[in-house]
Structure 1
Amino acid sequence: MVSNGTEASCSRRSVLAAVGTGIAGGVAGCLDSSASVSVLAAGSLAQTVEHHVGPAFESETDTAVHGEYYGSNALLRMVEDRMKTPDVVVSADATLLRDRLYDEYVSGDVEFATNVLGICYAPSTELGERLDAGEPWYEPVRDADDGAVAITEPDLDPLGYRALLAFELAERKHGLDGFRDTVGEAVYREPEEPQLLAGVAAGNRAAAISYRNMAVDHDLPFRSFPPAYNFADPAYADDYATVSFVTDDGYEVVGRPIVYNAAIPDDADNPDAAESLVSFLATSPSLLETAGLSVPEPYPQTAGAEPGVDL
């Protein structure tokens, strides 16, 4: 899971002990009550941060969380181009963050959660009715009208390129000749990840390829893809790695398990609050799971030399 030759280290227990020190030692008492921390995060975490992590962190520390949310590839480009200078960066693809930001912008990160890829749908539509009737997901998706199914824009967002990679793996597994190309051309590509499920929730779009937590956010039905292509099972990592996608700026993405990670830029305006927020993410598994994410062993775990984490 760790690129650039960096090995993730520290067990779940030791990381919790290390990063938990700040909170257990009374973070609220050492941060200014007027303080805030700026977060540039993956769009799939918009509701998680706004309705779960942010309020809980502010209650714990008297520090407000100000978030902006984009596809991870897009937001990492913003950091590279100095268009955004957040205190904390959160990516839905840990390797992508390391490839783009290590050395020049950040010195380490904390992996804190995973997710599951699948299809979220409107039950009142024909596609939804067929899914509820037990049909394999790919049959109604293949039959759907152009634009009835949405993915996020693959050049901007890991969710988008994971959807295309899942189509290719499903094509191989189920013998669906031409499925990736046919469906990949027919889907609507949403450029704003936080808006992916708006059309589904309104009944204007039949379905979207999404993460489980996003379906939880919108209280919509969700069917997880099989482990062979839901990018949630490390046991399938070698199979995931047999498919790839090249973004418009030439970055080649190889299929890999979904891992969220957080990093603190070296030039963060409020590094103390940033360290506290990353610690909070790493020590709040129940909060993240309530939001629809997964926090299995060995998370949290660290890579590099993240500030505030004693490796």
Structure 2
Amino acid sequence: MKKMVLALVVLALLMCCCQQSTKQSITETTPLKKVTLTIFHAGSLTIPLQELNEEFESYMKTKGYEVEIRTEASGSVMAVRKVTDLGRKADIVAVADYTLLPTFMYPKYADFYVAFARNELVLCYTDKSKYADEINGSNWYEILEKNGVKFGFSNPNIDPCGYRSVMAMELAELYYGKPIFHDLIEKHTNIRANGTKIFSPKDVTTDEKILIRDKSVDLIALLESGSIDYAFEYKSVALQHNLRFVELPDEINLRNPSLKDWYAQVSITVWKMENGKLVQKEIRAKPIVYGVTIPKNAENREIAEEYLAFLLSKRGREIFKKNHQEFLEKPLGFGNVPELIKKYVKIVT
């Protein structure tokens, strides 16, 4: 009798092992579901998103997906236009000015958006820049005015860093009480101001002192080659590329939320494409806050929600911090925020 019981126990164990082995074999051979995720994003997000994307791809393999992430960096205005005006499909749109999302995408092209990260403007340079050993946070505008000094900023009609750089120089004029905007912008471009209201023409032109590119990160190569001496960039980008930079006063750098009323004195009217037509839009200076959304035409919304949750998670914060990008203490969610990310945001109604 004892031998029979023992035999039954052994048989049961063997059957259990066989079932586990078969289950494991099936799991190991089951192919991952392939998904392509398309992301349109601000150029200044390129480096942190590269690291985030690699980790997200590995993370999704544990959930049965092989995710291929395709990214397109551009000025934030262009990132939005690809969806709203050019009719292109994206799963994620991440921009350097979150207010572009409610202005151009919500609620027609996206039913929610999240404000999630901060930044500030700095003036970048290299050891080869003229007066590199003299420039500081007090005399930077005087150095830019000097004969032979060349500087750059991005196109204000395309890139938030561009219109922020232009508005920062008007704020500098208010702060220092000197004609800085006139001497640095009006003398060398066709951008004009009426008091604190700035107007950018459809086609911005410059003389030999200033170079403009579609997105701010495109200026880095010009800076490193010596084609320009200085460039207005975000602090995170300067640190990511090991550039020297001048920190500007809070009254100018658009970093400090407590100075929002001071910043709001200045505005710029730029040209943007809307519904296939060029229209003028007034943008008021405000603290720099990045935003992200999932467009309504996203082809892989479920995976896009997973991606956004990963971005807003503790690990996403760590990756951004490592790459010198500061998160909001609590990201802000607007509209029909997906359930998967609600725990990461403060819902604003």
TM-score, scaled relative to structure 2 = 0.74
Once the two structures are superposed, the pairs formed by residues 131-210 of structure 1 within 5 Å of their partners are 131=135, 136-143=139-146, 145=148, 148-177=150-179, 179-184=180-185, 185=189, 186-210=209-233
Question: Which residue identity is paired with 2:53?
Answer: G
- Structure 1 runs of 4+ with >6 Å offset: none
- In structure 1, stretches of 5+ residues that fail to align are 1-30
Residues 1:46 and 2:46 are matched in the alignment: yes
C-alpha distance in structure 2 between counterparts of 1:199 and 1:127, whole Å: 17
Cα deviation 1:222-241 (Å, max 9, x = unaligned): 22211111111100001111
Name the structure 2 match of 1:272: 302
Residues 1:287 and 2:319 are matched in the alignment: yes
Q: 1:124 aligns with which of 107, 123, 128?
A: 128
C-alpha distance in structure 1 between counterparts of 2:160 and 2:147, whole Å: 23
C-alpha contact 2:116 2:328 (8 A) present in aligned 1: no
C-alpha distance in structure 1 between counterparts of 2:266 and 2:40, whole Å: 28
Aligned residues: 276
Q: Per-residue deviation at 1:149? A: 0.6
C-alpha distance in structure 2 between counterparts of 1:160 and 1:291, whole Å: 22
C-alpha contact 1:70 1:193 (8 A) present in aligned 2: no
C-alpha distance in structure 1 between counterparts of 2:33 and 2:251, whole Å: 47
Question: Which residue identity is paired with 1:247?
Answer: V
Residues 1:61 and 2:84 are matched in the alignment: no
Question: Which residue identity is paired with 1:241?
Answer: A
C-alpha distance in structure 2 between counterparts of 1:239 and 1:270, whole Å: 42
C-alpha distance in structure 2 between counterparts of 1:70 and 1:42, whole Å: 5
Name the structure 2 match of 1:78: 82
C-alpha distance in structure 2 between counterparts of 1:74 and 1:296, whole Å: 24
Secondary structure of residue in 2 paired with 1:119: strand
Secondary structure of residue in 2 paired with 1:35: strand
Against the structure 1 CA distance between its residues 105 and 223, is the aligned structure 2 distance closer, same or farther, given a 3 Å change threshold? Answer: same
C-alpha distance in structure 2 between counterparts of 1:65 and 1:112, whole Å: 21
Name the structure 2 match of 1:103: 107
C-alpha distance in structure 1 between counterparts of 2:241 and 2:147, whole Å: 22
Q: Per-residue deviation at 1:65? A: 2.1
C-alpha distance in structure 2 between counterparts of 1:145 and 1:279, whole Å: 49
C-alpha distance in structure 2 between counterparts of 1:150 and 1:246, whole Å: 20
Name the structure 2 match of 1:18: none
Q: Per-residue deviation at 1:144? A: 5.2
C-alpha contact 1:244 1:255 (8 A) present in aligned 2: yes
C-alpha contact 1:46 1:194 (8 A) present in aligned 2: no
Name the structure 2 match of 1:20: none
Q: Per-residue deviation at 1:262? A: 0.7
Which segment drifts farther, 197-206 or 181-190? 181-190
Against the structure 1 CA distance between its residues 172 and 65, is the aligned structure 2 distance closer, same or farther, given a 3 Å change threshold? Answer: same
C-alpha distance in structure 2 between counterparts of 1:155 and 1:254, whole Å: 14
C-alpha distance in structure 1 between counterparts of 2:288 and 2:251, whole Å: 13
What root-mean-square deviation, in Å, do the aligned CA atoms of Structure 1 and Structure 2 show? Answer: 1.9
Name the structure 2 match of 1:34: 34
Question: Which residue identity is paired with 2:48?
Answer: T
C-alpha contact 1:110 1:278 (8 A) present in aligned 2: no
Question: Which residue identity is paired with 2:130?
Answer: E
C-alpha distance in structure 2 between counterparts of 1:151 and 1:140, whole Å: 16
Per chain length, whose mean CA-contact separation is higher, i.e. which structure has more relative contact order (CA < 8 Å, sep 6+)? 1
C-alpha distance in structure 2 between counterparts of 1:88 and 1:174, whole Å: 41
Residues 1:236 and 2:259 are matched in the alignment: yes
C-alpha distance in structure 2 between counterparts of 1:93 and 1:257, whole Å: 9
Residues 1:306 and 2:340 are matched in the alignment: no
Q: Per-residue deviation at 1:135? A: 5.5
C-alpha distance in structure 2 between counterparts of 1:257 and 1:135, whole Å: 21
Question: Which residue identity is paired with 2:183?
Answer: T
Against the structure 1 CA distance between its residues 174 and 250, is the aligned structure 2 distance closer, same or farther, given a 3 Å change threshold? Answer: same
Cα deviation 1:125-151 (Å, max 9, x = unaligned): 22322226x7522121122536x1110
Against the structure 1 CA distance between its residues 230 and 92, is the aligned structure 2 distance closer, same or farther, given a 3 Å change threshold? Answer: same
